[in-house]
Amino acid sequence: MVNKILTSFFVRRLPEIRRSKGVTRKEIAKGVGITLGKYDKWEAGKVLPKSEDIARIASFYKMSVDEFLGLTEEESEAIKQKSAQGTIPSGAVRR
Q: Which long-range contacts (CB under 8 A, 24 or more apart) does 27-31 make?
A: 28/57, 28/60, 31/60
Residues with Cβ within 8 Å of 39's Cβ and at least 6 positions away in sequence, in order, are 25, 28, 29, 32
Predicted model pTM: 0.74
Chain segment 38-81, per-residue pLDDT in tens:
999 999 999 999 999 999 999 999 998 888 888 777 876 777 77
Please say whether the beta carbons of 83 and 92 come within 8 A. yes
Confidence grade of residue 95 (pLDDT, cut at 50, 70, 90): very low
- Report CA dihedral (66, 49, 42, 57) to the nearest 10 degrees: 50
Q: Looking at residue 91, what is its pLDDT?
A: 52
